[in-house]
Structure 1
Amino acid sequence: MSRADLLLRNARLTDGRLVDLGIDGGVFIRIGEDLELDAERELDARGRLTIPPFIDSHVHLDAVLTVGEPRFNRSGTLLEGIEIWGERKQSLSRDDVKHRALEAIKWEVAQGTLFIRSHVDVCDPELTALRALIELREEVRDLVELQLVAFPQDGIYATPGGPALMEEALRLGADVVGGIPHHEPTRALGERDVHLASELAKKYARPLDLHIDETDDPNSRFTEVLAWEAVEGGFGSRATASHCTAMHSYDDAYAFKLIRLLARSSINVVANPFDNTVLQGRFDTYPKRRGMARVKELLEGGVNVSLGHDSIMDPWYPLGRGDMLGAASLALHVLQMSGEEEIGEMLELVTNRAARTLGVEDGYGIEEGRPASFVVLDAPGTFDALRLDPARLWVVKDGRIVAETEPSRTTLYRGGGEESVDFSRNPEGSL
């Protein structure tokens, strides 16, 4: 009989198959029904949904858990959030950044996220946050794969010495080149922001991921500039446009022209439902814009889209706990993607599609020979995973259980007796 470190029985895959997963040496060695393996540890998933780990395509770990410091964002706007962060980052220290970021990483991992792309503000001349997170990136490899984006929060050209700081950030070890063209003082400087990011990406052989058109202004059109850079520079899926909220305000003629260009360029789009829905439309009375990129139309047009959490208790978004399934659920509602196939697609936006955004798809997924990283949800399928916000029964990274959650239990008392309520559909239940 073959040997395995771990055997997970009765795992329900997203295609409905019920299989056993045999794991040894950190990889899936066998996947099939009724496997005969001698395992050091055996678990029974009892038909619960088993998926590749969640991926957070966009978050700001340098700013997490700073809500109210030094003050609360009273207007709830993106611009006031940037002002508050400008004040808070004056007191950043290595230990401050690492302590807060590690706590948020633990939250994400406990809920099944094992890949994170974090944007890091590099407008600080000392690059304090970046240096701290580069250290942390190595220290948390047992929990999560962390990618760091050199992000010029105040604008590359709006920041004194901005281009040099971007280059220094890449020399120090930032994994991805960022940008923020819509926040530059002029449109011309915004275009230069995109072009410089592209040049640095070529020079240092790094992917691109820019905050772009994060505004309600329908005249903000830098996404097309990035898409064309991706075409001419051959970046393809190694380029990402994050936010793209102005797309919600574009007229249809321009929006669908842009979507065709995005599909041609093969770049990714990342939407961030928590922040996008809270921050955008703040200057509207009624009707209020939802402030999300046109995710449904992008997917229909052949563009890869994934989701990020963006903020976790910071000046831009005061709530959140690092739950990517929660991000998918919110996006489902805001985007009105409630059709049967669309609900299943929402799970893809925080798993397989996000793997393409981060460029990790070759080492991702429940397939023999690939790293044995996965999540078992306390739900029978994708529909109920989005409906119930289920417990993450086991989170496994490279064959090791890194988190385990006991499902909650609810008891209903009625007529002198008691019964368990698990929120599953029970059409034959007594009235």
Structure 2
Amino acid sequence: MHIINARLRQRSELFSIHIEEGRFSRIEVQDSTLAATDNAIDADGKLVCAPFVEPHIHLDAALTAGEPEWNQSGTLFEGIERWSQRKPMLNEADIRRRALSTIELLVQNGVQAIRTHADTTDPTLVGVRTLCALRDELKDKIDLQVVAFPQDGMLSYPNGAKLMEEALEMGADVVGGIPHFEYTRELGEKSVKQIIALAKKYDRLVDVHCDEIDDPNSRFLEFLACEALFHDMGPKVTASHTTAMHSYDNAYCSKLFRLLKNADINFISCPTESIHLQGRFDTYPKRRGVTRVKELREANINVCLGQDSIFDPWYSLGNGKLLRTLDYAMHICQMMGYQDYARALDMITDNSARTLCLQGYGIEVGNAANFILLEGHDDYSVLRQQGEVLLSVRHGEIIMQRQPAQVITPPWISQKIK
């Protein structure tokens, strides 16, 4: 494969990109625009970018909104109740069908790596088993990580700790947790210690639903960061959501950020979900309820964005488009300066890949030839126009392609422009 007239992120020149045996073999600056040929894909000045990465989604729950009941209040805790109603209906065929449909939607929108949570507070562990099987089945097509996630609390659910260990023995890639949902502070802290111990025992990554609540007194993040620091596991540990940070005062956050930088842990924010679920106890003024994405970025702490849900009990919308999530984040988190735009795609590409500890990610000679082609020539134009993903290539093979939309300008406009 040979791509010509391509733009690369943070570069103004045109490039030719050569691929041999599924890897980038040469990446060369072009002196001028090359004429299209049958032997090359003409990027036509559009942006060639590393694939999008979905770092936080729940494939076992996707496409279940309204089954058997809708979340009428739209709250996080009613969502958990509705999911408890849906869990008895789960089976392998059901999860497989919905997960594959959701993966297809993500692939159509440029995603080539996914981290999915799978509920372990289910005695059958059917979600973990099914998603691990899908991961192995699709390993040549997509990178899929499975998080063993105790939705109802690892220590507050009957035999929750035992089920978690069974999930890891079954092959889950990541140890999950939800300390703020445990019955007591003591149980939450104990669960964090057990999460780190299990990650060390099984040599797994860690991704904790941490402080997904408006309560400013929910401070399990500091506990998780300390455990990661003291066990020298920082880059392998992720704190998802951390929405309570939106309610922390600045004096406490100043102290907290010192720990977070030393711990070197990762953060995932799910802005569309958080702004919908949080602030529900407020009248006005009403909190946004999204973690401090901008401040984490400015402190050079790794932070990325995920969709969290697609049409499930917690969020009944969702379309698989990470660019939409990014657009929301830029607005909600007030990252609207030009320098914010200039590296916007980091939060759904490089930062997410770092969170997932992906190896050989990025458009560099020797790496696997995984990339997407976007409408637009840089981060800013792609974000502003919400450019479509026109092409997705994995190991040098096209896995998705679409034609740019044809726009017909009314004559009364085009004539005046001329």
TM-score by length of 2: 0.96
Is 1:33 the counterpart of 2:29? The answer is yes
Residues in 2 aligned to 1:339 and 1:324: alpha-carbon distance in whole angstroms: 20
- How many residues get paired? 413
SS in structure 2 at match of 1:410? coil
Structure 2: distance between partners of 1:142 and 1:326: 27
Q: Distance in 2 between the 1:365 and 1:14 partners?
A: 11
Contact 2:82 2:313 in 1 (8 A): yes
Q: Give the Cα–Cα distance (whole angstroms) in 1 for the partners of residues 258 and 354 of structure 2.
A: 19
Query: Deviations for 1:259-281, whole angstroms, at most 9, x for unmatched residues?
Result: 11111100001100111111001
Structure-2 residue corresponding to 1:375: 372
Q: Per-residue displacement from partner, 1:365-415 (whole Å, max 9, x unpaired)?
A: 000000000110011221111111111111111111100111222213234
1:53 aligned onto 2:51: yes
Q: 2: distance between equivalents of 1:291 and 1:310? A: 15
Alpha-carbon distance in 2 for matches of 1:41, 1:96? 43
CA drift of 1:419 comes to 4.8
User: Residue type matched to 2:3 in 1?
Assistant: L
Report the secondary structure of 2:364's partner residue.
coil
User: For 1:256 and 1:359, how far apart are their aligned partners in 2?
Assistant: 28
Asked if the contact 2:105/2:320 (under 8 Å) is kept, the reply is yes
CA contact (8 A) 1:411 1:419 kept: no
Superposed displacement of residue 344, structure 1: 2.4
Query: What secondary structure, in the 3-state scheme, does the structure 1 residue paired with 2:417 have?
Result: coil
Give the counterpart letter for 1:385 in structure 2.
V
The CA deviation at 1:40 is 8.5
How many Å apart are 1:322 and its aligned residue? 1.3
Indicate which of 121, 124, 128 corresponds to 1:123.
121
Cα deviation digits, residues 243-265 of structure 1 (max 9, x gap)? 00000000001112111111110
- 2:315 counterpart of 1:354: no
Q: SS where residue 349 of structure 1 aligns?
A: helix
Partner-residue secondary structure (3-state), 2:348:
coil
Name the CA distance, whole Å, in 2 between partners of 1:138 and 1:208.
Answer: 20
1:89 Cα deviation (Å)?
Answer: 0.9
Name the residue aligned to 2:153.
Answer: 155
Q: In the alignment, which of 270, 292, 295 is matched to residue 290 of structure 2?
A: 292
**2-side partners of 1:28 and 1:430: how far apart?**
43
1:430 aligns with: 417
* Cα deviation 1:72-111 (Å, max 9, x = unaligned): 1111100000000011011100010011001110111111
TM-fit CA distance, 1:352: 0.6
1:167 aligns with 2:165: yes
Aligned counterparts of 1:138 and 1:401: Cα–Cα separation in 2: 21
Alignment partner of 1:12 out of 7, 15, 18: 7
* Alignment partner of 1:411 out of 398, 403, 408: 408
* Partner secondary structure for residue 148 of structure 2: strand
Structure 2 partner of 1:267: 265
Q: Distance in 2 between matches of 1:405 and 1:106?
A: 14
Partner of 1:253: 251
Query: In the TM superposition, what are the counterparts of 1:27-426 in structure 2 within 5 Å?
Result: 27-34=23-30, 41-360=39-358, 362-415=359-412, 419=414
Distance (whole Å) between structure 2 residues aligned to residue 61 and residue 190 of structure 1: 25
SS in 2 for 1:114: strand
Distance (whole Å) between structure 2 residues aligned to residue 330 and residue 142 of structure 1? 32
Q: Secondary structure at the match of 1:15?
A: coil
How far apart, in 2, do the equivalents of 1:56 and 1:335 lie? Answer: 19
Asked if 2 retains the 8 angstrom alpha-carbon contact of 1:224 and 1:258, the reply is yes
Please report how far the alpha carbon of residue 116 of structure 1 lies from its aligned counterpart in structure 2 after TM superposition: 0.5
Percent of paired sites with the same residue: 48
1:222 positional shift: 0.1
Contact in 2 for aligned 1:28/1:372 (Cα 8 Å):
yes
CA RMSD of aligned residues (A): 1.6
Separation (CA, whole Å) in 2 of partners of 1:198 and 1:283: 32
Structure 2 unpaired stretches of 5+: none
Shift of 1:346: 2.2
Report if aligned partners of 2:46, 2:373 keep a CA contact under 8 Å in 1.
Answer: yes
Letter in 2 for 1:399: G
Q: Is the 8 A contact 1:7 1:22 kept in 2?
A: yes
Unaligned runs of 5+ in 1: 1-5, 421-428
In 2: Cα distance, 1:302 partner to 1:131 partner: 37
C-alpha offsets along residues 315-372 of structure 1, whole Å, 9 cap, x if unaligned? 0000011111111111001011011111123210111111110001x31000000000
Counterpart amino acid of residue 403 in structure 2: E
Report the TM-score when normalising by structure 1. 0.93
Question: Which whole-Å CA distance do the structure 2 matches of 1:363 and 1:218 have between them?
Answer: 39
Counterpart Cα distance in 1 of 2:210 and 2:57 = 15
2:344–2:379 Cα contact (<8 Å) kept: no
Does structure 2 retain, via aligned residues, the 8 Å contact 1:260–1:301?
no
Partner of 1:293, secondary structure, is coil
- Partners of 2:10 and 2:378 within 8 A in 1: no
